[in-house]
Chains A and B, each alone.
Chain A
Amino acid sequence: AQKVTQAQTEISVVEKEDVTLDCVYETRDTTYYLFWYKQPPSGELVFLIRRNSFDEQNEISGRYSWNFQKSTSSFNFTITASQVVDSAVYFCALSGNSGGYNKLIFGAGTRLAVHP
């Protein structure tokens, strides 16, 4: 079975703080992809980042960075110098070869509130 767990239900920070969103996943697939999506109050899911299971290199893209550790099945996401516009619900998701990569398995989401 595949499962994504986001233990943090809500996080509240003050603008310019760094914030890390945790994600732990379970899968028996040999090849899989991990994603982060953002859902602002408007409701539309916006793709942020994607990582495949063979590439554990951590990267930074602007204010976003992610830490993929296969040994602990974690795919954490960090926003540096948070801004009010970052306020949204963030979802971690998994897609594996057993499902033909056709279904995304989402976590329950973490609601991030950035206050001025």
Chain B
Amino acid sequence: GAGVSQTPSNKVTEKGKYVELRCDPISGHTALYWYRQSLGQGPEFLIYFQGTGAADDSGLPNDRFFAVRPEGSVSTLKIQRTERGDSAVYLCASSQRGGEAYNEQFFGPGTRLTVL
């Protein structure tokens, strides 16, 4: 079956612009996660959805970042007034259920965001 997909694969934008990054999880997976990976670093947790609701958004760096998952499947990460420091690879992952570490998280290929 299909894995986690993310679009676009690359996004270049100018400082101050608004961007949307999309994640399509594995079919049937109820849990969805967003991470951000800066160059030379490990991924950092941003937000976790269980179904349609954001169960843990403690990793969002500030109020310019928010994410939605209106129908419990596809999720969109939205970044307002982008800054150069937002440049990173944004990774999405999904798992069958949340709250259980033995349900492994499957990662997508990521969206590389570059803010000029």
Contact = CB atoms under 8 A, between A and B. Distances in A.
Contact of A50 (B33, B101, B108): B101
Nearest to A106: B42
A25 interface: no
Tell me whether chain B's interface is mostly helix, strand or loop, or mixed: loop
B104 A102 contact: no
* Interface residue range, chain A: 20 to 34
Contacts of B99: 100-102
Nearest to A94: B101
A52 interface: yes
Interface in A33-56: 33, 37, 42-47, 50, 52
Given A43-B89, A44-B107, A103-B33, A50 B42 contact: no
Contacts of A44: 107-110
A91 B42 contact: yes
Interface string A65-105: 00000000000000000000000000101010001111111
Given A44-B108, A101-B100, A108 B48 contact: no
B62 interface: no
Interface residues of B, number: 29
Interface in A1-56: 4, 32-33, 37, 42-47, 50, 52
Contact of B98 (A102, A106, A109): A102
Nearest to A45: B107
The interface centre, meaning the residue of A93, A95, A103 with most chain B CB atoms within 10 A of its CB, is: A103
B109 A93 contact: no
Contact of A103 (B40, B45, B107, B110): B45
A33 B105 CA distance: 13
Contacts of A105: 45
A104 B102 contact: no
Interface of A: 4, 32-33, 37, 42-47, 50, 52, 91, 93, 95, 99-109
Interface of B: 31, 33, 35, 40-45, 48, 55-56, 58-59, 89, 91, 93, 98-102, 104-110
